[in-house]
Amino acid sequence: MINNNAVWAFIEDLQTKQGISEIVINTNDLVFIERENQFIQLDLQFEKKDIYDFLKDVAKINNKKISLDEPILDGSLPDGSRINAIIEPFCTHGPAITIRKYIKKNVTLAPPYLFGLNDFWAVFLKALVHSKQNILISGGTGVGKTTFLNMLLAQIDATERLVIIEDTKELEVLNKNQVRLEVIKGFNLSNKILTVRDLVKNTLRMRPDRIIIGEVRGEEIFDLLQAMNVGHDGSMTSVHASSSGECFKRLESLFLLSGYDVPYRVIRRQIASAVNYIIQLEKDNEGKRFIAEIIEITGIEGDMIQVSQIALQENGELLKTGRVPKNIKELHKKSGLPLEYFADH
Protein backbone atom coordinates (compact mmCIF):
# COMPACT_ATOMS: atom_id res chain seq x y z
CA MET A 1 0.00 0.00 0.00
CA ILE A 2 1.31 3.48 -0.87
CA ASN A 3 0.51 6.31 1.56
CA ASN A 4 -2.61 4.53 2.84
CA ASN A 5 -4.33 5.21 -0.48
CA ALA A 6 -7.73 3.50 -0.74
CA VAL A 7 -7.20 2.35 -4.34
CA TRP A 8 -3.82 0.78 -3.50
CA ALA A 9 -5.42 -0.88 -0.46
CA PHE A 10 -8.20 -2.29 -2.66
CA ILE A 11 -5.73 -3.74 -5.18
CA GLU A 12 -3.58 -5.16 -2.39
CA ASP A 13 -6.63 -6.86 -0.87
CA LEU A 14 -7.49 -8.45 -4.23
CA GLN A 15 -4.05 -10.10 -4.28
CA THR A 16 -5.45 -12.68 -1.83
CA LYS A 17 -8.49 -13.44 -4.02
CA GLN A 18 -8.42 -16.22 -6.61
CA GLY A 19 -9.58 -16.13 -10.22
CA ILE A 20 -9.82 -12.36 -10.74
CA SER A 21 -8.63 -11.50 -14.24
CA GLU A 22 -9.69 -7.85 -14.62
CA ILE A 23 -10.38 -4.81 -12.45
CA VAL A 24 -12.25 -1.85 -13.93
CA ILE A 25 -13.05 1.49 -12.35
CA ASN A 26 -15.57 3.18 -14.65
CA THR A 27 -16.16 6.06 -12.25
CA ASN A 28 -15.34 6.53 -8.60
CA ASP A 29 -18.53 4.70 -7.60
CA LEU A 30 -18.77 2.11 -10.40
CA VAL A 31 -16.15 -0.55 -9.69
CA PHE A 32 -16.16 -4.04 -11.22
CA ILE A 33 -14.03 -7.17 -11.20
CA GLU A 34 -14.02 -9.93 -13.80
CA ARG A 35 -14.07 -13.47 -12.49
CA GLU A 36 -14.68 -16.55 -14.65
CA ASN A 37 -15.54 -14.35 -17.64
CA GLN A 38 -18.27 -12.49 -15.71
CA PHE A 39 -18.16 -8.85 -14.57
CA ILE A 40 -19.30 -8.35 -10.97
CA GLN A 41 -20.10 -4.90 -9.57
CA LEU A 42 -18.68 -4.19 -6.13
CA ASP A 43 -20.33 -2.16 -3.39
CA LEU A 44 -17.43 0.24 -3.30
CA GLN A 45 -16.80 3.94 -3.76
CA PHE A 46 -13.52 5.86 -3.97
CA GLU A 47 -12.74 9.50 -3.45
CA LYS A 48 -11.60 11.09 -6.70
CA LYS A 49 -8.50 12.39 -4.97
CA ASP A 50 -7.47 8.83 -4.09
CA ILE A 51 -7.91 7.78 -7.73
CA TYR A 52 -5.81 10.67 -9.03
CA ASP A 53 -3.13 10.11 -6.37
CA PHE A 54 -3.07 6.43 -7.32
CA LEU A 55 -2.60 7.31 -11.00
CA LYS A 56 0.23 9.72 -10.18
CA ASP A 57 1.94 6.92 -8.22
CA VAL A 58 1.53 4.50 -11.13
CA ALA A 59 2.85 7.06 -13.61
CA LYS A 60 5.91 7.61 -11.41
CA ILE A 61 6.52 3.85 -11.14
CA ASN A 62 6.47 3.63 -14.95
CA ASN A 63 8.58 6.77 -15.49
CA LYS A 64 5.64 8.39 -17.26
CA LYS A 65 3.26 11.26 -16.70
CA ILE A 66 -0.50 11.62 -16.58
CA SER A 67 -1.87 15.12 -17.06
CA LEU A 68 -4.05 17.18 -19.39
CA ASP A 69 -1.16 17.14 -21.84
CA GLU A 70 -0.78 13.36 -21.52
CA PRO A 71 -4.24 12.13 -20.47
CA ILE A 72 -3.73 8.44 -21.31
CA LEU A 73 -1.51 6.19 -19.22
CA ASP A 74 -0.36 2.70 -20.25
CA GLY A 75 1.84 0.94 -17.76
CA SER A 76 2.36 -1.87 -15.28
CA LEU A 77 1.74 -2.29 -11.57
CA PRO A 78 4.47 -3.63 -9.27
CA ASP A 79 2.98 -7.16 -9.48
CA GLY A 80 3.19 -7.14 -13.30
CA SER A 81 -0.48 -6.39 -13.96
CA ARG A 82 -1.14 -4.13 -16.94
CA ILE A 83 -2.98 -0.85 -16.41
CA ASN A 84 -4.63 1.63 -18.76
CA ALA A 85 -6.17 4.89 -17.58
CA ILE A 86 -7.72 7.95 -19.16
CA ILE A 87 -8.63 11.07 -17.21
CA GLU A 88 -11.09 13.96 -17.36
CA PRO A 89 -12.21 15.76 -19.46
CA PHE A 90 -11.55 13.04 -22.05
CA CYS A 91 -13.47 10.64 -19.84
CA THR A 92 -16.74 12.32 -18.90
CA HIS A 93 -17.48 11.16 -15.35
CA GLY A 94 -13.98 10.89 -13.93
CA PRO A 95 -10.87 8.75 -14.46
CA ALA A 96 -11.51 5.37 -16.07
CA ILE A 97 -9.07 2.62 -15.14
CA THR A 98 -8.68 -0.88 -16.57
CA ILE A 99 -6.30 -3.34 -14.92
CA ARG A 100 -5.54 -6.70 -16.47
CA LYS A 101 -4.39 -8.79 -13.54
CA TYR A 102 -1.11 -10.61 -13.68
CA ILE A 103 -1.86 -14.20 -12.80
CA LYS A 104 1.21 -16.36 -12.42
CA LYS A 105 0.75 -19.45 -14.57
CA ASN A 106 2.80 -22.19 -16.06
CA VAL A 107 4.08 -20.37 -19.15
CA THR A 108 6.38 -23.09 -20.39
CA LEU A 109 5.67 -25.84 -22.89
CA ALA A 110 5.32 -28.42 -20.14
CA PRO A 111 2.38 -29.99 -18.27
CA PRO A 112 -0.08 -28.80 -17.10
CA TYR A 113 -0.55 -27.40 -20.59
CA LEU A 114 -2.38 -24.22 -21.50
CA PHE A 115 -4.32 -23.49 -24.72
CA GLY A 116 -5.44 -27.10 -25.18
CA LEU A 117 -1.93 -28.33 -25.90
CA ASN A 118 -0.71 -31.87 -25.37
CA ASP A 119 2.68 -33.60 -25.56
CA PHE A 120 2.56 -33.97 -29.35
CA TRP A 121 1.96 -30.30 -30.10
CA ALA A 122 4.26 -29.10 -27.33
CA VAL A 123 7.15 -30.98 -28.94
CA PHE A 124 6.24 -29.53 -32.33
CA LEU A 125 6.14 -25.95 -30.99
CA LYS A 126 9.50 -26.46 -29.30
CA ALA A 127 10.88 -27.59 -32.66
CA LEU A 128 9.59 -24.40 -34.30
CA VAL A 129 11.40 -22.27 -31.73
CA HIS A 130 14.63 -24.28 -31.68
CA SER A 131 14.83 -24.31 -35.49
CA LYS A 132 14.35 -20.52 -35.54
CA GLN A 133 11.11 -20.29 -37.46
CA ASN A 134 9.64 -16.79 -37.78
CA ILE A 135 6.31 -16.94 -35.97
CA LEU A 136 3.24 -14.69 -35.77
CA ILE A 137 0.75 -15.17 -32.94
CA SER A 138 -2.66 -14.04 -34.19
CA GLY A 139 -5.82 -13.49 -32.18
CA GLY A 140 -8.44 -11.06 -30.92
CA THR A 141 -8.60 -9.20 -27.64
CA GLY A 142 -8.03 -11.25 -24.49
CA VAL A 143 -7.21 -14.56 -26.17
CA GLY A 144 -3.79 -14.82 -24.51
CA LYS A 145 -1.38 -13.68 -27.22
CA THR A 146 1.13 -12.36 -24.67
CA THR A 147 0.91 -15.50 -22.53
CA PHE A 148 1.44 -17.70 -25.58
CA LEU A 149 4.37 -15.61 -26.75
CA ASN A 150 5.89 -15.96 -23.28
CA MET A 151 5.60 -19.76 -23.58
CA LEU A 152 7.56 -19.72 -26.82
CA LEU A 153 10.16 -17.28 -25.50
CA ALA A 154 10.86 -19.62 -22.58
CA GLN A 155 12.21 -22.14 -25.13
CA ILE A 156 14.89 -19.87 -26.59
CA ASP A 157 18.46 -20.87 -25.83
CA ALA A 158 20.01 -18.74 -23.11
CA THR A 159 23.06 -18.02 -25.29
CA GLU A 160 21.02 -16.08 -27.87
CA ARG A 161 20.90 -12.27 -27.88
CA LEU A 162 17.39 -10.85 -27.92
CA VAL A 163 16.08 -7.35 -28.52
CA ILE A 164 12.52 -6.95 -27.24
CA ILE A 165 10.23 -4.06 -28.16
CA GLU A 166 6.95 -3.34 -26.37
CA ASP A 167 4.51 -0.52 -25.73
CA THR A 168 4.26 -1.69 -22.13
CA LYS A 169 6.50 -4.29 -20.53
CA GLU A 170 4.63 -7.60 -20.42
CA LEU A 171 6.91 -10.24 -21.91
CA GLU A 172 8.97 -12.37 -19.55
CA VAL A 173 12.38 -13.33 -20.87
CA LEU A 174 15.02 -15.18 -18.87
CA ASN A 175 17.94 -14.66 -21.27
CA LYS A 176 20.56 -12.43 -19.69
CA ASN A 177 21.80 -11.23 -23.07
CA GLN A 178 18.73 -9.12 -23.82
CA VAL A 179 17.91 -5.48 -24.44
CA ARG A 180 14.40 -4.20 -23.77
CA LEU A 181 13.09 -1.19 -25.65
CA GLU A 182 9.86 0.52 -24.69
CA VAL A 183 7.87 3.21 -26.44
CA ILE A 184 7.55 6.23 -24.16
CA LYS A 185 4.58 8.23 -25.38
CA GLY A 186 5.21 11.94 -25.45
CA PHE A 187 9.01 11.60 -25.38
CA ASN A 188 10.71 13.16 -28.33
CA LEU A 189 14.17 13.72 -29.69
CA SER A 190 14.68 16.96 -31.63
CA ASN A 191 10.89 17.34 -31.79
CA LYS A 192 10.55 13.86 -33.34
CA ILE A 193 8.39 11.31 -31.56
CA LEU A 194 10.13 7.98 -31.15
CA THR A 195 7.83 5.32 -32.56
CA VAL A 196 7.94 1.53 -32.51
CA ARG A 197 9.28 1.74 -36.05
CA ASP A 198 12.17 3.94 -34.90
CA LEU A 199 13.03 1.33 -32.29
CA VAL A 200 12.83 -1.53 -34.80
CA LYS A 201 15.18 0.32 -37.15
CA ASN A 202 17.65 0.88 -34.32
CA THR A 203 17.35 -2.77 -33.31
CA LEU A 204 18.98 -3.79 -36.60
CA ARG A 205 22.17 -2.06 -35.40
CA MET A 206 22.19 -3.87 -32.06
CA ARG A 207 23.30 -7.29 -33.31
CA PRO A 208 20.23 -9.29 -32.21
CA ASP A 209 19.88 -13.01 -32.87
CA ARG A 210 16.13 -12.59 -32.65
CA ILE A 211 13.83 -9.58 -32.65
CA ILE A 212 10.73 -9.85 -30.49
CA ILE A 213 7.90 -7.32 -30.74
CA GLY A 214 5.03 -7.59 -28.25
CA GLU A 215 2.46 -6.68 -30.91
CA VAL A 216 2.71 -5.05 -34.33
CA ARG A 217 0.15 -2.29 -34.73
CA GLY A 218 1.55 -0.07 -37.47
CA GLU A 219 4.22 0.70 -40.00
CA GLU A 220 6.91 -1.14 -38.03
CA ILE A 221 5.75 -4.35 -39.77
CA PHE A 222 7.70 -3.20 -42.86
CA ASP A 223 11.01 -3.12 -40.99
CA LEU A 224 10.28 -6.33 -39.09
CA LEU A 225 9.61 -8.22 -42.33
CA GLN A 226 12.87 -6.87 -43.76
CA ALA A 227 14.71 -8.06 -40.66
CA MET A 228 13.14 -11.52 -40.90
CA ASN A 229 14.23 -11.68 -44.53
CA VAL A 230 17.87 -10.78 -43.96
CA GLY A 231 18.99 -13.11 -41.22
CA HIS A 232 17.13 -12.48 -37.97
CA ASP A 233 15.57 -15.93 -37.98
CA GLY A 234 13.42 -16.96 -35.05
CA SER A 235 11.86 -13.53 -34.64
CA MET A 236 8.34 -13.40 -33.20
CA THR A 237 5.46 -11.00 -32.71
CA SER A 238 1.70 -10.97 -32.27
CA VAL A 239 -1.01 -9.47 -34.47
CA HIS A 240 -4.57 -8.48 -33.60
CA ALA A 241 -6.77 -10.50 -35.96
CA SER A 242 -9.84 -12.68 -35.51
CA SER A 243 -8.75 -15.38 -37.99
CA SER A 244 -5.71 -16.43 -39.98
CA GLY A 245 -7.30 -14.97 -43.13
CA GLU A 246 -7.89 -11.69 -41.34
CA CYS A 247 -4.27 -11.82 -40.14
CA PHE A 248 -3.00 -11.60 -43.74
CA LYS A 249 -5.30 -8.65 -44.48
CA ARG A 250 -4.13 -6.96 -41.30
CA LEU A 251 -0.47 -7.38 -42.26
CA GLU A 252 -1.13 -5.91 -45.71
CA SER A 253 -2.91 -2.91 -44.20
CA LEU A 254 -0.12 -2.27 -41.70
CA PHE A 255 2.50 -2.60 -44.42
CA LEU A 256 0.84 0.19 -46.42
CA LEU A 257 1.12 2.48 -43.37
CA SER A 258 4.88 2.49 -43.91
CA GLY A 259 4.36 4.90 -46.80
CA TYR A 260 5.51 2.58 -49.59
CA ASP A 261 2.97 2.62 -52.40
CA VAL A 262 3.54 -0.87 -53.75
CA PRO A 263 1.22 -3.47 -55.30
CA TYR A 264 -0.35 -6.07 -53.02
CA ARG A 265 1.59 -8.83 -54.77
CA VAL A 266 4.85 -7.22 -53.60
CA ILE A 267 3.59 -7.01 -50.01
CA ARG A 268 2.47 -10.64 -50.14
CA ARG A 269 5.87 -11.74 -51.44
CA GLN A 270 7.48 -9.97 -48.49
CA ILE A 271 5.14 -11.72 -46.04
CA ALA A 272 5.53 -15.12 -47.70
CA SER A 273 9.33 -14.97 -47.67
CA ALA A 274 9.57 -13.63 -44.11
CA VAL A 275 6.99 -15.51 -42.04
CA ASN A 276 7.08 -19.28 -41.55
CA TYR A 277 4.15 -20.01 -39.24
CA ILE A 278 0.97 -18.36 -37.98
CA ILE A 279 -0.60 -19.65 -34.77
CA GLN A 280 -4.22 -18.52 -34.40
CA LEU A 281 -5.65 -18.23 -30.88
CA GLU A 282 -9.32 -17.99 -29.89
CA LYS A 283 -11.50 -17.97 -26.79
CA ASP A 284 -14.76 -19.88 -26.27
CA ASN A 285 -17.95 -18.65 -24.61
CA GLU A 286 -16.71 -19.77 -21.21
CA GLY A 287 -13.49 -17.80 -21.56
CA LYS A 288 -11.26 -20.81 -22.23
CA ARG A 289 -8.36 -19.95 -24.54
CA PHE A 290 -7.18 -22.38 -27.18
CA ILE A 291 -5.19 -22.79 -30.38
CA ALA A 292 -7.67 -22.63 -33.27
CA GLU A 293 -5.16 -23.57 -35.97
CA ILE A 294 -1.49 -23.69 -36.90
CA ILE A 295 -0.66 -22.61 -40.44
CA GLU A 296 2.60 -22.96 -42.34
CA ILE A 297 3.30 -20.40 -45.05
CA THR A 298 4.73 -22.41 -47.92
CA GLY A 299 5.36 -19.78 -50.62
CA ILE A 300 3.50 -17.67 -53.14
CA GLU A 301 1.85 -18.51 -56.43
CA GLY A 302 0.87 -15.60 -58.65
CA ASP A 303 -0.51 -12.99 -56.30
CA MET A 304 -1.65 -15.42 -53.60
CA ILE A 305 0.20 -16.56 -50.49
CA GLN A 306 0.21 -20.36 -50.27
CA VAL A 307 -0.45 -21.95 -46.89
CA SER A 308 -0.71 -25.41 -45.41
CA GLN A 309 -2.96 -25.99 -42.41
CA ILE A 310 -0.99 -28.21 -40.03
CA ALA A 311 -3.41 -28.26 -37.07
CA LEU A 312 -7.09 -27.47 -36.54
CA GLN A 313 -9.24 -27.29 -33.41
CA GLU A 314 -12.26 -29.58 -33.49
CA ASN A 315 -14.57 -30.46 -30.61
CA GLY A 316 -12.16 -29.09 -28.03
CA GLU A 317 -9.10 -30.91 -29.36
CA LEU A 318 -6.21 -29.72 -31.52
CA LEU A 319 -5.97 -32.26 -34.33
CA LYS A 320 -3.60 -33.00 -37.18
CA THR A 321 -4.99 -32.19 -40.61
CA GLY A 322 -2.96 -34.92 -42.29
CA ARG A 323 -0.55 -32.44 -43.83
CA VAL A 324 3.15 -32.73 -43.02
CA PRO A 325 5.04 -29.44 -42.71
CA LYS A 326 6.77 -28.60 -45.97
CA ASN A 327 9.92 -27.71 -44.03
CA ILE A 328 9.97 -30.95 -41.98
CA LYS A 329 13.54 -31.62 -43.14
CA GLU A 330 14.64 -28.25 -41.84
CA LEU A 331 12.88 -28.88 -38.53
CA HIS A 332 14.64 -32.26 -38.32
CA LYS A 333 18.06 -30.83 -39.13
CA LYS A 334 17.87 -27.85 -36.77
CA SER A 335 15.81 -29.21 -33.87
CA GLY A 336 15.98 -32.99 -34.11
CA LEU A 337 12.26 -33.43 -34.78
CA PRO A 338 11.90 -36.88 -36.38
CA LEU A 339 11.19 -36.86 -40.10
CA GLU A 340 8.35 -39.31 -39.51
CA TYR A 341 6.93 -37.30 -36.57
CA PHE A 342 3.56 -36.63 -38.18
CA ALA A 343 3.34 -40.10 -39.69
CA ASP A 344 3.79 -41.92 -36.36
CA HIS A 345 1.21 -40.00 -34.33
Question: What pTM was computed for the model?
Answer: 0.83
Predicted local distance difference test score (pLDDT) of residue 123: 97
Predicted local distance difference test score (pLDDT) of residue 172: 83
Predicted local distance difference test score (pLDDT) of residue 185: 60
Measured CA to CA in angstroms, residue 51 lies from 64, 65, 97 at distances of 17, 15, 9
| CATH H-level, domain 119-335: superfamily | P-loop containing nucleotide triphosphate hydrolases (3.40.50.300)
Q: Does the 6-100 domain belong in CATH 3.30.450.370?
A: yes
Sort strands 192-193 and 210-213 into parallel, antiparallel or unpaired: unpaired
Q: Which residues of the chain have pLDDT under 70?
A: 1-3, 102-106, 184-193, 344-345
Domain boundaries, the chain: 6-100, 119-335
Instruction: List, as one string, the DSSP characters of 299-319.
Output: EEETTEEEEEEEEEEETTEEE
| Partners of residue 76 on adjacent β-strands | 82
Give the separation between CA 217 and CA 146, rounded to whole angstroms: 14
Amino acid, single-letter form, for residue 156: I
Give the separation between CA 179 and CA 164, rounded to whole angstroms: 6
